[in-house]
């Protein structure tokens, strides 16, 4: 979207849509699933299983104040990335898309931390037999995929700048 279009217009609609999707799926999980009772979705490798995570990714826990520590970290991430997404040098569709996913995901999990002391609602359980990935949610997908896409966007920018510098040196 470099040809005159402002890619920054993608940021808030996508971030808000991701928060909405996350909250909708979490409310569905809480109203439909029993805590820690798996429901088969696609064979053994994918199940729904309602769980509450009072910590962070991979059940990282920092003691009795984990909820507030991680809420503070999420708030800083949401504000910092949303602020940076306003910059002209971030006016590129992949970077805006990636930033919106990270912000939407972080904000979705922040809502859970503020809403309940039980923890973040997780319900997607993948693995084979006893070998399972930690249970996660739509917000986690946004944070993870957004972070990877953000890294790719920075790598692409570095590659483009290196090419431009090489062309200028040849001239």
Give the number of domains in the chain. Answer: 1
DSSP letter string, 114-130: HH-TT-EEEEEEEEETT
Model confidence pLDDT, tens digit, residues 102-144: 999 999 999 999 999 899 999 999 999 889 999 999 999 999 9
Asked if residue 146 is part of any domain, the answer here is yes
Phi-psi region of 20 (alpha: psi -120 to 50; beta: other; left: phi over 0): alpha
Helices marked H in the chain: 11-32, 66-84, 93-115, 138-170
Asked if residue 134 is part of any domain, the answer here is yes
Model confidence pLDDT, tens digit, residues 26-79: 999 999 999 999 999 999 899 999 999 987 766 676 777 888 999 999 999 999
Q: Please state, in angstroms and rounded to a whole number, the distance separating the CA atoms of residues 46 and 10.
A: 32
Full residue range of the structural domain in which residue 67 is found: 48-170
Asked if residue 31 is part of any domain, the answer here is no
What value does the mean pLDDT take over residues 16-28?
98
Band (pLDDT 50/70/90 cuts) for residue 165 is confident
Asked if residue 108 is part of any domain, the answer here is yes
> pTM value?
0.87
Asked if residue 21 is part of any domain, the answer here is no
Residues 6+ apart with CB under 8 A from 110: 71, 74, 75, 78
CB atoms within 10 A of CB 15: 27
Asked if residue 66 is part of any domain, the answer here is yes
Please list the active-site residues.
122, 140
Asked if residue 125 is part of any domain, the answer here is yes
Asked if residue 33 is part of any domain, the answer here is no
């Amino acid at each position: 979207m470099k040809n005159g279009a402002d890619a920054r217009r993608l940021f808030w609609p996508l971030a808000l849509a991701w928060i909405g999707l996350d909250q909708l799926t979490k409310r569905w999980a809480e109203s439909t699933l029993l805590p820690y009772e798996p429901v088969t979705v696609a064979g053994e490798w994918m199940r729904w299983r309602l769980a509450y995570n009072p910590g962070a990714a991979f059940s990282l826990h920092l003691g009795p104040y984990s909820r507030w520590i991680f809420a503070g970290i999420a708030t800083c991430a949401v504000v910092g990335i949303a602020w940076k997404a306003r910059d002209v040098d971030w006016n590129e569709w992949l970077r805006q898309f990636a930033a919106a996913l990270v912000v939407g995901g972080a904000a979705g999990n922040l809502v859970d931390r503020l809403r309940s002391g039980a923890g973040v609602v997780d319900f997607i359980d993948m693995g084979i037999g006893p070998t399972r990935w930690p249970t996660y949610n739509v917000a986690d997908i946004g944070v993870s995929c957004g972070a990877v896409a953000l890294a790719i966007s920075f790598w692409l920018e570095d590659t483009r700048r290196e090419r431009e510098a090489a062309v200028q040196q040849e001239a």
